[in-house]
A and B are shown apart, each in its own frame.
Chain A
Amino acid sequence: MAVRILTRLVLPEIKGAAFASSAAAPATLSDFDVQHKTPVIRKQKLIPKAQYGGRHAVTMLPGGGIGPECMGYVRDIFKYIGAPVDFEVVDIDPNVDNDDDVQYAITTIKRNGVGLKGNIETKSEAAYVTSRNVALRNELDMYAYVLNCKSSGNIETKSEAAYVTSRNVALRNELDMYAYVLNCKSFPGVSTRHKDIDITIIRQNTEGEYAMLEHESVRGVIESMKVVTASNSERVARFAFEFAKKNGKKKVTTVHKANIMKLSDGLFLETSRRLAKEYPEIEHNDMIIDNCCMQLVAKPHQFDVMLMTNLYGSIVSNVVCGLLGGAGLLSGRNYGDHYAVFEPGTRNTGTAIAGKNVANPIAMINASIDMLEHLGHHYHAELLRRAVHRTVNEDRVLTPDCGGTASSTDVVNSIIGNIGHVGH
């Protein structure tokens, strides 16, 4: 019965996706259009799309750290190339305790359908929690001790915040953005150990270890629940295979730890194996996470599309980002059925280098290119992509994190200069 309901719910969605990818479909149907055609699975109402006279309204969440300055660069560039996008900027004050701003940001993404975001700080709870942490622990036997799961090991964001979920995680969960896609393609202009890497990481984005269900059942014993559901595993697996099919990828690798977590990761693995049978043209194999990390740094070229659960995705994407030259280059995409949010690939706020004009703006610019592509503005996306390619790979105007000496503004100016060249 459950299966029948599930197939009924999921099948139309696949039809929608297949419609977009098939050659018969009109070329003008952008991902943005498809997103508005996808039938509603959760109980929610479809909102009319925010596209007026060819211009899109897009939510911009600058976030903390280097976010605001990078967003400034993106806006400069968009103004310069005349991209038909109107940004609705929502600032989230990290020093406010309540979640009004975050809720508002979620609402704006709901009505615009698309967002571009930096990393949002969840700073206020840091002070709030560290002072009260001990007291709380002693007071209560059983309470929700929620880890603020940060994907990256950056020091400036603290990792403990009771009762309060990370704002980034809240955003993803609330918008049900179950798939995270990170395109990892080598930049020839950035010198790294391995050349010509081209891996796509697809990560389950809403459950697994990030379910944020932790409690102290007995004093000194903390249980953390990792939740894997068949429906979400199937959704993300199908997303991965559809993605591979649409983009002409050959192989999907499922990364797991099913030898230890036989039930949870086992379910994830089984689901992806089952779906692989529906896509006979795409090769499917699986790999255990520890081996996978070793293989990645030793022989990264064997990977094509990688599919994994939440925490492994976080680790692997940071490993690959490191392989390709640091946090400042790659851009990630969060997809739900009805919403899409674009952000820099590694989720660091970079507070330490904020305002010093050394932050690498390429990641945010790449995210904005993804966004233009998603909205169907292929011309502007291509223009910008070529300009970035020229700046990074030919002119080699790079910030210090990639081994260059240029400042952020130098990079942006170089890109703006190159737009004129590639335009002709």
Chain B
Amino acid sequence: MSLISRNVFRALVQGSQHVGKGVHTTAVNKDKNVCFAQHTISTLQTKEGRIKCTLIPGDGVGPEMVYSVQEVFKAANIPVDFESFFFSEVNPTLSAPLEDVVNSIAKNKICIKGILATPDFSHTGELQTLNMKLRNALDLYANVVHVKSLPNVKCRHHDVDCIIIREQTEGEYSALEHESVPGVVECLKIITAAKSERIAKFAFDYAVKMGRKKVTAVHKANIMKLGDGLFLRSCEEMAKLYPRIQFEKMIVDNCTMQMVSNPNQFDVMVTPNLYGNIVDNLASGLVGGAGVVAGASYSAECAVFEQGARHIFSGAVGKNIANPTAMLLCSANLLAHVNLHSYSKMIKNAVNKVLADGKVRTKDLGGQSTTKDFTYAVIHSLV
């Protein structure tokens, strides 16, 4: 397994160099005009040369998606350099050490990340997954998934547009489990006031920044009166500081039901760890699946851009059928985060245009096109 994946990875990397060059030469005339126009607007490039970004291809179809992003970046001549790390839990021998990756992200402040596979049983007997270790090391406490209906993607609901904000460093993911008596396992869910306030403030500040009107706290305080109760109280406390944003609360089971029956009522949602994970995936399913929803994780200092619903899609590895939309939208968000708004818009518009035209669609959206076809279509729509 490790051998195969190594070869696949190497082939991909080499392929990316070759094809990247080819793409660059073909697209260069088309993009020259674009980039001249860009120079006057964005100056990060002239200011400090190029931006460095950590890149973690991840497992499953991750490398293929990341490769698609790299191709688009090359074609659009975007001044971002990638610092690539192979990072994986299922391939511990090939994986870069956690410290290196953490240092790189801490230095670059931005990272684009594929999905890391999480085995059901750890090799080492540790309870913490690599994802959790990375999040804890960087204190990436807030996960933001912006679920938005895409043009011409057929779904049951239209005009879904909600932002789900999830605390992801505590709660059920504290990795504190033990078997106190044989046959009795206790799993600890930790909720702290400090972290609850922090995520609540994040949610409200995000709502302010995005010009949203309402924040919904998702909880289960009727059953977990103390744990979720604390989370809810912290949210209420923070809501007082935001008199111009409506605050409401909803129990998680009701929330999931409302989400599938009437998702348009939601604006910004703030959730503890596990509920967030579930609601993220549910909401992603509403607008077209894991392949089209972008997400991001924030700490105070850095931002990691990754897919909204984290599935490795191992069945599609090497088959060239996965949908790179999510990763491309991630990269566009990354560019907006570092103030390269014009480039960000360029990629977003291109992706939307390809989706709206509907000629090139990957399998998950009911088409027959390949990942590469889609990537090239996006490149040709860059304006």
Residues of A at under 8 Å CB distance from B? 45, 47-55, 57, 79-84, 86, 88, 104, 107, 110-112, 383, 419-420, 423-424
CB-based nearest A residue for B48: A423
Taken together as a complex, chains A and B put the C-alpha atoms of A271 and B54 apart, in Å, by 53
Query: Residue A51 contacts which of B47, B300, B337, B339 (CB distance < 8 angstroms)?
Result: B300
| A48 with B46: CB separation less than 8 A | no
| A104 with B243: CB separation less than 8 A | yes
CB-based nearest B residue for A56: B300
Query: Residue A420 contacts which of B42, B46, B301, B302 (CB distance < 8 angstroms)?
Result: B46
Q: How far is the CB of A418 from chain B (nearest CB, A)?
A: 12
Q: How far is the CB of B268 from chain A (nearest CB, A)?
A: 14
CB-CB under 8 A from B237, the residues of chain A are 45
| A104 with B244: CB separation less than 8 A | yes
Quick one: which of B110-164 are within 8 Å of A by CB? 110, 142
Q: For the complex, is B303 an interface residue (Cβ under 8 Å from A)?
A: yes
CB-CB under 8 A from A80, the residues of chain B are 43
Q: How far is the CB of A114 from chain B (nearest CB, A)?
A: 13
- The 19 sampled A-B contact pairs (Cβ below 8 Å) are A47-B241, A48-B197, A52-B298, A53-B296, A53-B299, A53-B337, A54-B301, A54-B303, A82-B43, A82-B338, A88-B208, A104-B243, A107-B241, A107-B242, A107-B243, A111-B205, A112-B205, A423-B47, A424-B46
B268-312 to A contact mask, C-beta < 8 Å, 1/0: 000000000000000000000000000010111111000000000
Q: For the complex, is B198 an interface residue (Cβ under 8 Å from A)?
A: yes
Taken together as a complex, chains A and B put the C-alpha atoms of A80 and B243 apart, in Å, by 32
CB-CB under 8 A from B303, the residues of chain A are 52-54
CB-based nearest A residue for B299: A53
Q: How far is the CB of B361 from chain A (nearest CB, A)?
A: 32
| B298 with A57: CB separation less than 8 A | no
Q: For the complex, is B44 an interface residue (Cβ under 8 Å from A)?
A: yes
CB-CB under 8 A from B299, the residues of chain A are 53
Q: How far is the CB of B215 from chain A (nearest CB, A)?
A: 14
Q: For the complex, is B202 an interface residue (Cβ under 8 Å from A)?
A: yes
Taken together as a complex, chains A and B put the C-alpha atoms of A107 and B243 apart, in Å, by 9
Chain A CB count within 10 A is highest, among B47, B194, B237, B242, for B47
| A82 with B205: CB separation less than 8 A | no
| A57 with B208: CB separation less than 8 A | yes
Contact (A48, B142) CB under 8 Å given A111-B205, A419-B43: no
Q: A47-B241, A52-B205, A104-B244 are in contact. List 5 more A-B contacts (CB 8 A).
A: A48-B194, A52-B142, A52-B202, A53-B296, A424-B46
B28-64 to A contact mask, C-beta < 8 Å, 1/0: 0000000000000011101110000000000000000
Taken together as a complex, chains A and B put the C-alpha atoms of A360 and B145 apart, in Å, by 43
Contact (A111, B298) CB under 8 Å given A57-B209, A82-B44: no
CB-CB under 8 A from A79, the residues of chain B are 339
Q: How far is the CB of A297 from chain B (nearest CB, A)?
A: 42
Q: For the complex, is B201 an interface residue (Cβ under 8 Å from A)?
A: yes
* Majority SS at the chain B contact face: mixed
CB-CB under 8 A from A81, the residues of chain B are 43, 47
CB-based nearest A residue for B196: A48
Taken together as a complex, chains A and B put the C-alpha atoms of A111 and B301 apart, in Å, by 18
| A50 with B205: CB separation less than 8 A | yes
Q: For the complex, is B109 an interface residue (Cβ under 8 Å from A)?
A: yes
Query: Residue A55 contacts which of B46, B194, B241, B337 (CB distance < 8 angstroms)?
Result: B337
Query: Residue A53 contacts which of B47, B198, B243, B298 (CB distance < 8 angstroms)?
Result: B298
| A50 with B201: CB separation less than 8 A | yes
| B201 with A111: CB separation less than 8 A | yes
Q: How far is the CB of B188 from chain A (nearest CB, A)?
A: 24
Query: Residue B209 contacts which of A48, A83, A86, A420 (CB distance < 8 angstroms)?
Result: A86
Q: How far is the CB of B196 from chain A (nearest CB, A)?
A: 10
Taken together as a complex, chains A and B put the C-alpha atoms of A53 and B302 apart, in Å, by 4
B337-348 to A contact mask, C-beta < 8 Å, 1/0: 111100000000
Taken together as a complex, chains A and B put the C-alpha atoms of A82 and B197 apart, in Å, by 29
B44-88 to A contact mask, C-beta < 8 Å, 1/0: 101110000000000000000000000000000000000000000
CB-CB under 8 A from B302, the residues of chain A are 53-54
CB-CB under 8 A from A420, the residues of chain B are 43, 46-47
CB-CB under 8 A from A48, the residues of chain B are 194, 197-198, 201-202
Contact (A47, B43) CB under 8 Å given A82-B339, A86-B209: no
| A53 with B301: CB separation less than 8 A | yes
Taken together as a complex, chains A and B put the C-alpha atoms of A240 and B40 apart, in Å, by 44
CB-based nearest A residue for B304: A53
Taken together as a complex, chains A and B put the C-alpha atoms of A104 and B198 apart, in Å, by 21
Taken together as a complex, chains A and B put the C-alpha atoms of A88 and B205 apart, in Å, by 9
CB-based nearest A residue for B237: A45
Taken together as a complex, chains A and B put the C-alpha atoms of A57 and B204 apart, in Å, by 12
Quick one: which of B338-367 are within 8 Å of A by CB? 338-340
CB-CB under 8 A from B197, the residues of chain A are 47-48
CB-CB under 8 A from B110, the residues of chain A are 53-54
Taken together as a complex, chains A and B put the C-alpha atoms of A111 and B202 apart, in Å, by 11
CB-CB under 8 A from A88, the residues of chain B are 208-209
CB-based nearest B residue for A36: B300
Chain A CB count within 10 A is highest, among B48, B244, B299, B300, for B300
Contact (A53, B201) CB under 8 Å given A82-B42, A82-B339, A84-B339: no
Taken together as a complex, chains A and B put the C-alpha atoms of A258 and B232 apart, in Å, by 54
Taken together as a complex, chains A and B put the C-alpha atoms of A230 and B183 apart, in Å, by 66
CB-based nearest B residue for A55: B337
CB-based nearest A residue for B200: A48
Q: How far is the CB of A67 from chain B (nearest CB, A)?
A: 21
CB-CB under 8 A from B201, the residues of chain A are 47-48, 50, 111
CB-CB under 8 A from A57, the residues of chain B are 205, 208-209
| B43 with A54: CB separation less than 8 A | no
CB-CB under 8 A from B242, the residues of chain A are 107, 111
CB-CB under 8 A from B337, the residues of chain A are 53, 55
CB-based nearest B residue for A51: B300
CB-CB under 8 A from A86, the residues of chain B are 209
| A110 with B301: CB separation less than 8 A | no
CB-CB under 8 A from B241, the residues of chain A are 47, 107, 110-111
CB-based nearest B residue for A48: B198
Q: How far is the CB of A184 from chain B (nearest CB, A)?
A: 30
CB-CB under 8 A from B43, the residues of chain A are 80-82, 419-420, 423
| B109 with A82: CB separation less than 8 A | no
Q: How far is the CB of A420 from chain B (nearest CB, A)?
A: 6
Q: How far is the CB of A347 from chain B (nearest CB, A)?
A: 27
List 6 A-B pairs, minimum CB-CB distance, nearest first: A53-B303, A82-B339, A48-B198, A53-B298, A423-B47, A51-B300
Quick one: which of B152-201 are within 8 Å of A by CB? 194, 197-198, 201
| B339 with A53: CB separation less than 8 A | no
CB-CB under 8 A from A45, the residues of chain B are 237
CB-CB under 8 A from A55, the residues of chain B are 337
Taken together as a complex, chains A and B put the C-alpha atoms of A45 and B234 apart, in Å, by 12
CB-CB under 8 A from A423, the residues of chain B are 43, 46-48
CB-based nearest B residue for A54: B109
CB-based nearest A residue for B341: A79
CB-based nearest B residue for A33: B300
CB-based nearest B residue for A100: B243
